[in-house]
Structure 1
Amino acid sequence: MTDIDKWLIFSTLAPETVSNVKLACVFGSSGNEAIIVTKDDEVFALGSNCSGCLGLGDSHGSLEPKKVVSLCKKGIKDFAYGSGPHVLAITESGELYSWGHNGYCQLGNGSTNQGLNPGLISANLIGRKVVEVACGSHHSIALTSDGEVYAWGQNNCGQVGSGSTTNQLTPRKVTAGIGCRRCTAIACGQTSSMAVLDNGEVYGWGYNGNGQLGLGNNVNQSNPCRVTHLQGVIIQKIACGYAHTLALSDEGVLYAWGANSYGQLGTGNKANQVTPVRIAAEIGRVVDISASHYNHISAVMTQTSKLYMWGQCRGQSVTLPEESPFHTLHDVFACFASPAVTSRPMELDVCMVNRVGDSLRQAFDDLSTSDLKISIEGRVVHVHKAILKIRTIEITQFSYPVYQAFLRYLYTDEVELPPEDAIGLLDLANSYCELQLKRHCERIIKHGITIDNVAMLYAAAIKYEAKELEDFCFRFALNHLTAVAQTEAFNKLDELTIKNFIFKAAQQGAFKY
């Protein structure tokens, strides 16, 4: 299950919005644009909206999701995105929409005008069902249900596969080298294109300066050329990074070639490879691969559901597959790719996962599941013996709000109390040597400090040996000394505390003329 909250751009979404997401993707030069499709077939976009890539009809950014009206109720099932950025979207019925940057004809609508709204690509695709799309930096390719490949957009390196280097305004069928044979998978690097045939052969075309086409040389190709060094291997999946390529055989064997300046090939060094080389044999059978033309990172999942990553990981060059703690390939890109963009759209066919932590939060003070009642000042908190036993507490007498907050903390690791009650919880935390809880209380107190209560909080910090909090309160009181000295709380301080406070204030120069 993908954790959508690992993506920074989604961090402000309301829980009810997240639970309704079916498909999501993050793109843009800094991972600062996103599109989501909800379970009820509504499409929303948010982010900086560079080049009108959110499809909202304007170029205004938004931190809140805004509805992409022209795509709602269309059955959007997949996206691809270039680094302009431009965006492609496929519907369940196989229609193809495009919008965003169009300086190189990458929207396939016959013009170079920026697309502020999604537009249906009809040229040469009428009557054909598009089942997969891929984008390079400024070019696009599409795969139909008949196994045909169409390409358009920037073609300076031959990445459209038309036999020339002239930009292609509308989708054009790629036939050279492939002929009428059926393709089953496509992928794009920044300025290169790859396709897999139904017999497992691999073809590449476009820029080849780093050997990313796997042809044994560094010569650009304006027509598809077969990767002959994979003779006898049945390739099932293919993925392209910025300038490198990953290929997975039907036996779970992994191959890589192309640029390797960040170790993205996983060969243990940084030397480019112009032909496919088998890698990662030691990690076992691989079942899924992932890379993005936005960056230089590679990620795979093994048969045992272990995830490995290598390449440019948070700015570090990792030259051999390194096991990660994540559960999905998307999490690797969210946390380690630069920029953090989805390598492909995230499918959240949830059923939000009911995690242990979430279940425990719901169980706190729940009469229907509890097996223990704790009575405090005549009021009852419903808890669970097993949880209390695990967390190792010993019950003492405190006010209801304080003890109830402590029990909630044991279940949730969260504290919700006003500063005045947080003092009592600080006392409890100090008694139980709960350092983390003590820090929570100190944070609450700091955030709730006022002229009227600072003296009381200062005395409590001294009493409960919270030195950092004591210093914080002292500095606050010192900065508002005239007002604080006239408060009721200050007048209630014991004589020794006042003397010590005055002495410290004098050392800080509070009484100098």
Structure 2
Amino acid sequence: MEFFSNLYGKYLSKQTNVNNHYSNNNSISSNIDFESMNLGSINRIIGFEFDEDFFKKIDSNGDTALTFFISEIIKFQKSQSFNTDLKLFNNSKYRYLLDIQNDFGETPLHVAGFVKANANAGIKDYRNLTPLDMAIMLEYNDIIKILETSETSKQSNVQSNIYNWGEILTSDFLLKSECKPIKILFNDELCSPISIEYGQNFSLILTDTGAVYSSGLCSYGKTGHKMKRDISIPTQIKSLENKRIKSISCGSHHSLALDDLGLVYSWGNGSNGRLGLELHILGEKKIVSTPTLISTIASNTLDPVVVQISAGFDNSFLITSNGSVYSFGSAISEKLGYDGTVLGYQALPRKIESIPPMKQVSASNLHTVLLDTCGNVYAFGSPTNGRLGRPSNGPRNDYKPTMVSFGSGGGDGTVIKKIATGTNFTIVLSDSGELFGWGGNSNGQLGVEPICNVSDSFDSPTLIKCLSNLNCGKITIHDFAVGDQHVVILSDVGEVFCFGEDRKAQCGIGISYPGYNDISLTQIQSNNFNGRNIFKVYAGANNTMVSLSPDHHIFGEELLKLLNSNLFTDIKLKVTESDQIINAHKIVLAARCKKFHSLISLQLNNPTKPQSIKYNDYDNNSTTKYITSEIIDGILYITFPISFKVLNLFLKYLYSDHVNLTQSITDELGELSHCMGVGRLSYLCNFKNNLSLQKLPISTLLEDLKKIQNQEYIDIYSNVQFNCVSNADPLENGVIKSYKLFSNLGSFYFKKMLGGSYIESEQNEIHLNQTSIHGLRSLLKYCYCEEIPEDINECIELIILSDIHSMHRAKDITSAKIRSLMDNDSICYIYHISKLYNVKPLSIWCLAKLNLISTTQENLKKLPYFDQLPNELKIEILNSLKK
């Protein structure tokens, strides 16, 4: 930890001492006096003769020496240090060090580095951002001027769809209030935010591709990076990049993430057990800097798949697929749902007993709210300010989840579909679209004018009426979000309303309504977003956020990469007024669009006769236009009477189910999608006319791609044949026709074989003599649309093939399916398979279930297949019972 501190103080006495010291101290100290240090100091350091490999190394925080130095210096000196003359880098063998990237893809230039040296300013980090993108966002004007003169410098076409206002953490890591929506630099070219969570001076962004980004202060390791650096630009948490996260939640200084396999990860401040980890095994450390699997949940239940998470101020909650609720962390104010905790906290997940099955949980600082599968709400914790939805002078078993009565609001029988908690209040949305609230109202966060000792709190659900009588008409609520003391509403037509505390400008700027000044009711105007549509709302402590992008599917991201790579393309698309060509894949176009399928198949059946589709099929006075196809020199061309930009966006949508929509292209793109029968895109382009988020069609990408298994598509579009081991069935001939594109997409083995320099890449017939036809068929179904078999034996075969083909994602999904299919008779065999093929989540689950179904070693030994296990696995199972 002290290497760079010594380096700066002594300026490298000997080369050998440097290398030895670095090997023993593999992280960079932040104990250097950076306020008195400048880039000239680095010149003097590099000026010594020593092994240059030192500067190529990555330390335990993921930084190179130079990215670390620059990030610390810029924190104190900003752009002043960039006037330093760095001739040493320009004129010596060390110049190339400026282009070496750290674990996050950043060069020194990305962290506001050597702009005067001859560094490559066009390198993109793994956020797909260039140094110029970042300098513009950080408002480093001096650096921007220098970068703009560099031949290699360029700005990405970043189309960020996230805006926020309220109390914002600036690039200087200072808090300031902004009432006007400010863009967050987030390059959502390939993904869109579906959830944003705020903790204390940090935030998380979850994308629809399952990636998690964080930004803010890194204290307590709460940003989830091994890099010990405050981050002003959302940066992907690398340890979660191979997981598909579907839910995130932030406490004050800790976070939870839930993946689509039902596994939960936690990180940040681990004091009082809020991370649910066995920290004594981790060396009693209280800070966990990177996401760590909470494995103990598997040992507490027969159904350990978690489906919902919520991080409170200093505690956490999990709901499993059978509706059980587990809590851990601080037990202050009886907010864990049970009593009898040791030392005032619960270190490992513990089940809340005697409650019905639950489907949602929302935890605040002193109280927690649950929603059961029937739509009833339960609350427990501190009764102060009426936050439990019942009189505080009633029975005082506040730790017990107790049903909230809606008798005074909407009548008993009110069915609730969403719950959310602020600091001292709760907001819920009913199936009928009514909004109720209870608890503290000192800032009008319940939509009622606060009057001291009269309406500064409510101890029972109160119907929120402030949105009912506005001059814009009755508001149909699509969604809502809750901050510490304010509420954000998204209407069904994409309007945003805020009310509650506004001291930090969290209610924004827009239309204010007379009579509601005391609750700061504000309608945010669409011209703040260049007239674009709003699809999601979020709220932080004193912050409001909106997203202008609908969801898409992660599978489309991988498919789009293959479109951009031109690999296996077999059709060319162009427009009438341009010579530009887009190479694409017939099978994708046909699967995603019936009209493409009809046109292509008709053209292939009549190769000498051009075909066409009427483009403007509505009745008007304009000249009729056509989409035409023809085969030239054996290549199929399709020509469109539109702009090339719109065609490019249309293709991007077909591959990914995602495209950034701007006013300038929605009319033309909407006309094209309507003509081609692509309903969801047509709806998105004409959202202002359709006016309903409730009716927005969902993504059909995977459903469309399932069609390519049909013989109709295989006969026309298949371009590779696999010869396998045939089964006993005499009707099976051991031959499967498939598509190079999708085989390459799912399998690393096929990717190397078909897309590399192997002889098979030129062949249309591949021999797989060690693979059964049933196994390959299951493998290809996964490659096509992530479909997993329903039979446990086929799942086991897919696990084995997934290991051979390096398909880690397929192994994980298949193991989740196996968990739902296996019984006690097969558990030992499944455990053996999980160990053989390194399926860790499955092996953890098997051990946990073995401990539940057998209480003695003798019973374990009697289980089927136990005696056939290798000795080391027998010992593992028996030892786990002792624990």
What TM-score comes out, normalization by structure 1 length?
A: 0.60
Is 1:319 aligned to residue 523 of structure 2?
no
- The corresponding residue for 1:287 is 478
Does residue 264 (structure 1) correspond to residue 445 (structure 2)? The answer is yes
Does residue 1:143 correspond to 2:301, yes or no? no
Q: Report the alpha carbon displacement of residue 227 of structure 1 after superposing the two structures with TM.
A: 1.0
Q: CA deviation at 1:331?
A: 5.2
Q: Secondary structure at the match of 2:360?
A: strand
Considering fraction of residues, name the structure with more strand. Answer: 1
**AA partner of residue 286 (structure 1):** I
Partner of 1:470 in structure 2?
Answer: none
Matches for 1:167-186 after TM superposition, within 5 Å = 167-176=345-354, 178=355, 181-186=356-361
Distance 1:202 1:14, change over 3 A: closer
Q: Is the 8 A contact 1:258 1:272 kept in 2?
A: yes
Q: Secondary structure at the match of 2:220?
A: helix
* CA distance in structure 2 between the aligned counterparts of 1:347 and 1:77, rounded to whole angstroms: 15
- Give, as a single letter, the amino acid of the residue that structure 2 aligns with 1:228: S
List per-residue Cα deviations over 1:245-279 (Å, max 9, x = no partner): 01111111111100111110102224200111111
Residue pairs, 1:24-39, within 5 angstroms: 25-30=196-201, 32-37=202-207, 39=209
Q: In the superposition, relative to structure 1, how do residues 94 and 228 fare at CA in structure 2: closer, same or farther (>3 Å)?
A: same
Does the aligned pair in 2 maintain the 1:309–1:332 contact within 8 Å? Answer: no
Indicate how the Cα distance of structure 1 residues 6 and 289 shifts in structure 2: closer, same or farther if over 3 A, else same.
Answer: closer
Give the structure with the larger helix fraction.
2
Deviation, 1:343, is: 10
Percent identity, please: 24
Comparing 150-159 with 161-170, which one deviates more in the overlay?
161-170
**Are the equivalent residues in 1 in contact too, given 2:214–2:234 (CA < 8 A)?**
yes
Q: How does 1:80-479 map to 2 (within 5 A)?
A: 80-83=249-252, 85-111=253-279, 113-125=286-298, 127-164=303-340, 166-176=344-354, 178=355, 181-217=356-392, 221-230=398-407, 231-270=412-451, 271-280=456-465, 281-282=468-469, 283-292=474-483, 295-315=484-504, 318-319=518-519, 321-325=521-525, 328=534, 333=539, 339-340=542-543, 348-349=551-552, 351-356=658-663
How far the C-alpha of 1:195 sits from its partner, in A, is 0.6
Unpaired runs of 5+ in structure 1? 361-513
Q: 1:287 to 1:64 in 2, by over 3 A?
A: closer
The structure 2 residue matched to 1:71, chosen from 240, 243, 260, is: 240
Separation (CA, whole Å) in 1 of partners of 2:288 and 2:545 = 22
Counterpart Cα distance in 1 of 2:212 and 2:418: 29
- Residue 3 (str. 1) matches residue 124 (str. 2): no
The count of corresponding residues between Structure 1 and Structure 2 is 348
- Between the aligned partners of 2:206 and 2:255, the Cα distance in structure 1 is 13
- The residue that corresponds to 1:396 in the other structure is none
Aligned AA (2:288): G
Asked whether the 8 Å contact 2:248–2:255 carries over to 1, the reply is yes
Compare relative contact order (CA 8 Å, sep 6+) and give the higher one, 1 or 2.
1
Answer whether contact 1:2 1:328 (CA < 8 A) is retained: no
Q: Is the 8 A contact 2:504 2:542 kept in 1?
A: no
Change (3 A) 1:289 1:102: same
- Which secondary structure state, in structure 2, belongs to the residue aligned with residue 313 of structure 1? coil
The separation in 1 between residues aligned to 2:545 and 2:269, in whole angstroms, is 19
- Corresponding residue to 1:21 among 176, 187, 191: 191
Paired residue secondary structure (1:151)? strand
Distance, in Å, in 1 between the alignment partners of 2:273 and 2:375 is 31
Q: CA deviation at 1:332?
A: 6.7
Return the offset for 1:43: 4.4
Distance 1:253 1:341 in 2: 22
Distance 1:122-1:268 versus aligned 2 partners, 3 A rule: same
CA contact (8 A) 1:289 1:300 kept: yes
CA shift for structure 1 position 70: 2.1
Structure 2 segments unaligned to the other structure (5+ residues):
1-158, 172-181, 280-284, 506-516, 527-532, 553-656, 668-883
| Paired AA for residue 188 in structure 1 | A
Letter in 2 for 1:18: D
Post-superposition Cα deviations, 1:370-418, rounded to whole Å, max 9, x if no partner, equal xxxxxxxxxxxxxxxxxxxxxxxxxxxxxxxxxxxxxxxxxxxxxxxxx
Whole-angstrom CA distance in 2 between matches of 1:287 and 1:297: 17
Q: CA deviation at 1:322?
A: 3.8
TM-score norm. by structure 2 comes to 0.36
Aligned partners of 2:233 and 2:323: how far apart in 1?
A: 39
8 Å CA contact 1:26–1:342 kept in 2: the answer is no
Indicate the SS of the match to 2:523: strand
- Determine helix, strand or coil for the equivalent of 2:371: strand
CA contact (8 A) 2:308 2:359 kept: no
Asked if the contact 2:164–2:543 (Cα under 8 Å) also holds between the matched residues in 1, the reply is no
Counterpart CA distance in 1 for 2:489 and 2:232 is: 32
Asked whether the 8 Å contact 1:310–1:318 carries over to 2, the reply is: no
Q: Report how far residue 22 of structure 1 moved.
A: 3.5
Which residue matches 1:381? none
* CA gap 1:130/1:297 in 2 versus in 1, 3 angstroms: same
In the TM superposition, what whole-angstrom CA distance separates every residue of 1:321-347 from its partner, at most 9, and x where no partner exists? 5433355485574xxx65326699x97
Q: Distance in 1 between matches of 2:442 and 2:234?
A: 37
Q: Against the structure 1 CA distance between its residues 260 and 97, is the aligned structure 2 distance closer, same or farther, given a 3 Å change threshold?
A: same
8 Å CA contact retained: 2:416, 2:431: yes
Give the CA deviation at 1:72.
1.4
Structure 1, 125-134 or 199-208: larger mean CA deviation: 125-134
Counterparts of 1:27 and 1:130, CA distance in 2: 22
Task: Tell me how far 1:188 sits from its aligned partner.
Answer: 1.5
2:208–2:551 CA contact under 8 A, matched in 1: no
> 1:314 and 1:352 mapped to 2: Cα distance?
36
Whether contact under 8 Å (2:185, 2:233) holds in the other structure is no
Q: Deviation at 1:63? A: 3.5
Counterparts in 2 of 1:305 and 1:45: CA distance versus 1, 3 Å: closer
The 3 A distance-change label for structure 1 pair 285 and 57 is: same
Conservation of the 8 A alpha-carbon contact between 2:405 and 2:461: no
